[in-house]
Structure 1
Amino acid sequence: MKRLLPDRIEFSVLLAGIVVAGGLWGFVELAEVARAAPAHGLDTEILLLLREAGNPADPIGPAWLEEAVRDITGLGSMIVLVMATAAAIVYLLLVGRRRQALLVLVAVGGGQILSSLLKLGIDRPRPHLVPHLVEVQTLSFPSGHAMMAAVTYLTLGSMLAGTVKGTAIRVYVLGLAVLVTLMVGASRVYLGVHWPSDVLAGWCAGFAWAMLCWLVARNLLRRDAGSGAADQ
């Protein structure tokens, strides 16, 4: 009996495709919110909920929480992401995986370029509803911290997950990458430097780009493996 499909579609590939499609759709919808004026009511409500009533300069929670959130947001800073990416690339080169090293460089570097272009294209100013608890210079939409954390940690996580055995370990690695990404994005709203829609858009774009790069990398690496086996 002939199969209806030439090859079985793997669940991971299907899931990645859904993430890409959902991320693109979500970003387009949120871009419309970002272009609207005044700010969306839910954006405003969430920012104010994270500040003490009657005192927008004071974030909710104890003093140590504010310092902890600053540390968390640092995990999405340019210097930390560059160092993590460089360390991964050097490691891949040392173990002879030059193709994977190039793919990591293209994924993260391309994500940074895309993030900058999207900021310029939307041109949304930072929120001034509450005081900023950290210094910022760039435009607001999408959140660069949220987007690049997703791109970097998911790219590195997927590469690492591909080298380990056992479903539980792979789920742990990818789950940790997602958790760090979510924490970084949430920290930007808590610190008052992004509207919630900025962060959601950053996650949408970052997850979509990371999964798209993973699909391309997976296809190229499998094609190379097939060509190598055929030549033997």
Structure 2
Amino acid sequence: MSGLSAVFALTTWQIVADGPLRRVDERVGRALVGHGPAGLTEFLADLGNMQVALPVLGCAIVWVLARGERRAPLVAALAMAAVPLLVVPLKEWIARPGPLTDATGYYPSGHAATAAVAYGAAALLLSPYLRRAWMMPVAAVLLTVATGIGLVLRGYHWPLDVAGSWCLCGVLLVALRVLGRRAARDGAGAQPPK
């Protein structure tokens, strides 16, 4: 978790201070914009829309609730609720312009953050119920990376906007994982009422 926090802090500092990493980021971003089939890259970028990602997490929460789990779904919902509470003030404070616009508020990427937390939390919720538990986190990583690729190729975000969101939300997901394990451990030791 400290590694993700450190990378997020470094990335944020470089964006705010107009450091060399920001200049490289903007050169790379300009070179990538417009590559790939427009329909596919738009589809990938849309994976980070709340209308797409939240129902995925919602279905996972309902499925786990139906199996009697209460704490982990609550923690997952709180992690998702924390995304705009963290991202929006940062966007306003940093006020980074986007790749194809002078409008500000592009760092960190809200779409990348939404995808990371929604798909990551869904994977953490569902993995314990699967024989091949590794499949859900792999699917979450693929969906999250695909979203980031779409956002950059469509010119909606710079690469560091996406990477910064992944680091920030990685911290949230690690906290979710730790709290989920504690909840499972505490629940396993509880005795039914007599």
- Measured against the shorter chain, the TM-score band is 0.7 to 0.9
- Aligned residue for 2:35? 60
Aligned with residue 112 of structure 2, among 146, 150, 155: 146
Task: Give the TM-score normalised by the residue count of structure 1.
Answer: 0.75
1:152-163 matches, cutoff 5 A: 152-163=118-129
| Aligned residue-pair number | 193
Residue by residue over 1:180-220, the C-alpha shift from the partner in whole angstroms, topping out at 9 and shown as x without a partner, is 11110121111112111111101111111111111112112
Note if 1:200 corresponds to 2:163: yes
Aligned with residue 23 of structure 2, among 20, 41, 48: 41
**Structure 1: how far apart are the matches of 2:179 and 2:95?**
30
- Aligned residue for 2:144? 181
Task: Give the TM-score normalised by the residue count of structure 2.
Answer: 0.88
Extract unaligned runs of 5+ from structure 1: 1-19, 52-58
8 Å CA contact retained: 1:189, 1:195:
yes
Summarize the Cα distance change of 1:32–1:214 in structure 2 as closer, same or farther, 3 Å threshold. same
- Aligned residue for 1:110? 82
Moved over 6 A (4+): none
Please report the RMSD computed on the Cα atoms of aligned residues, expressed in angstroms.
Answer: 2.3
| Worse-matched range after superposition: 220-229 or 140-149 | 220-229
- Aligned residue for 1:25? 6
Aligned with residue 98 of structure 1, among 59, 70, 75: 70
- Determine what percentage of the aligned residue pairs are the same residue: 28
- Give secondary structure in 2 for the equivalent of 1:228: coil
Summarize the Cα distance change of 1:190–1:96 in structure 2 as closer, same or farther, 3 Å threshold. same
Note if 1:209 corresponds to 2:172: yes
Look at both structures and tell me which one has the larger radius of gyration over its CA atoms.
1
